[in-house]
A and B are shown apart, each in its own frame.
Chain A
Amino acid sequence: MKRSKTMELGVGLFMLAGILGLLFLGLRVSGLAFSPPGDTFRLEANFANIGSLKPRARVTMSGVTVGRVSSIELDTDWYDARVILEIDRALEDRLSRDTTAAILTAGLLGEQYVGLTVGGDPETLGDGDTIRDTQSAVVLEELIQQFVSNMISD
């Protein structure tokens, strides 16, 4: 029976290692934080152009991740993009009403994300409110076009 004991131990360790490995993949590799759902509140923001922003992109404030993009849809009233953001519950009723949202790019070719900057309005944003002041994604072609037309007008 001694041989089977070591075998059982081996299999136990093997399975434990597998579970620990999965934990490692979750925490260290995909950066999961154990935040139960409902720990966030919703904000909406309309952008004229979202570039290549994707659902699940980060929402940051001064570089700190404070939430995620939950969905993106076309607003048929204004024909622009409505982006729904899920922001950390701790920031509910803390962000001023004139907070700006900008679509930024990480590095030259990196992923796009939403950056928030607070303003000075004493009124604050609650669940389901809309951010009025937005700044669209920078599209490289538009930038070049501007640059060229500036050169010509000079």
Chain B
Amino acid sequence: MNDTLAGWLQALALIGALALSYRPLGDYIAHVLTTPKHLRAERFLYRLGGVNADVDQRWPVYLRSVLAFSAVSVIFLYAFQRLQSHLLLAIGMKAVPPGTAFNTAASFVTNTNWQSYSGETTMGHLVQMAGLAVQNFVSAAVGIAVVAALIRGFTRKRTDRIGNFWVDLTRVTVRVLLPIAFVFAIVLVAAGAVENLHGVHEISTIVGDKQSITGGPVASQEVIKELGTNGGGFYNANSAHPFENPNAFTNWLEIYLLLVIATSLPRTFGTMVGDKRQGYAIVSVMALIWVASVVLVTVNELHSVSSTAGHAAGGMMEGKEQRFGIWASALFATSTTLTSTGAVNSFHDSYTPGGGGMTIFNMMLGEIAPGGTGSGLYGILILAVITVFVAGLMVGRTPEYLGKKLGSREMKFASLYILTTPAIVLIGAGTAMSLRGERANMLNSGPHGFSEVLYAFTSAANNNGSAFAGLTVSSDWWNTALGLAMLFGRFLPMIFVLALAGSLARQQPVPVTTGTLPTHRPQFVGLLSGVILIVVGLTYFPALALGPLAEGLH
């Protein structure tokens, strides 16, 4: 089978598998988020935490719960890393330095999973399992909880209650993430990923050199790394490492896992608002952008060969695993940058300017196509709100989305949301570029060097976590700056989303008439896609012009 056919088959099988999962998984999550029944295990957890699971929260309380939970998580994770040498299963790892510990804590709690360290030489097994892997689950669950609150804002009327964070968090973790992760961890192990509690093995290679190989609970962490759109690898090489991602099948499976929840959530949305067409419209926009991006990256990598090594290989193979080739790498790169996952099976720094530029642009879109677990859906819903506002004015009515009016209060929160991430990216990159010392951490000079910095802040602020590589980010300045970018990039938008949910829930819905802007038709799909591209394009065009565009246009 040649590469092209294999590439097509992989992509089509992926789309088919996602399409098959859309209905059952989306409806199941909707059921989990709406059913009044608690599981016995959940009841036990609620009793343990002193949570009254049958009482819904007002939006400020919901927000406070999100923030408190996350703050405790950051502190716990920080302390865990600092104290790891005193704990079990440290496999000889020393305490993580403060800068890295803060950055990592922020990174895993915000579902970014940016890694300024090498997993196999920094973290012991206990930190990996009880610290990082736990955050992989709950940070993904927090995203889904927040979008659940936003959806309730649309579905509920005349109430100040938007759900109970503790219930959402627990149910999503226990009923959605854990079971799926369990099943697929076994599949991964069966397919060749590693799962053990071994320490470092010293082995001699054929040529007589010494090599240290770290074992560990890899498969179990790998599965939630993708499923929860986290992306923090057990090993530094991430999904390019053969223990994490041994072969073409696991590669395909990992891409499927990192897309499956985010692409099914629009169904959850459609089901919960009682109009499944709304879900189809949203998922169509996601699919449109994803397909366009896959095509652009693949074509660029196959044809716009930009290095001598690339010419020799007949395609841009630099930085890509021989096991996966260009097609599977491009598919992985697009999916990981469009989902806020940030796991990588190839190095984006070595992509062509066009392909690498697309990976930056993918993240700049705000992680919405399909985006992170939960965060992708709330991100695209906010953009839908902006679209409906402008388009709604054009049909001569006070704009309304799903029967809820978009007045000044709603627009305030939506505007703040779309303002936040660009502000963090641009201010961060701008500051870094004006500091001579920090700038020196780039591997390359010229536009490519600038792309590395732009990529780092884009990745952090959008909670993606993938690295362009090339940039050295282990200094205190970078650890702190990117750590803050991740925290602000995660929680400021959540504040606005929950505030918006609160103000939507309070409204009495307006009945739908022929004078109402329909938000389920191809017309709206096209319009929303256009607004996303234009708003993002206009915001980042100058920066992109000096990075990938300057590099790519000769």
A binds B: no
Interfacial residues, chain B to chain A (CB-CB below 8 A): none
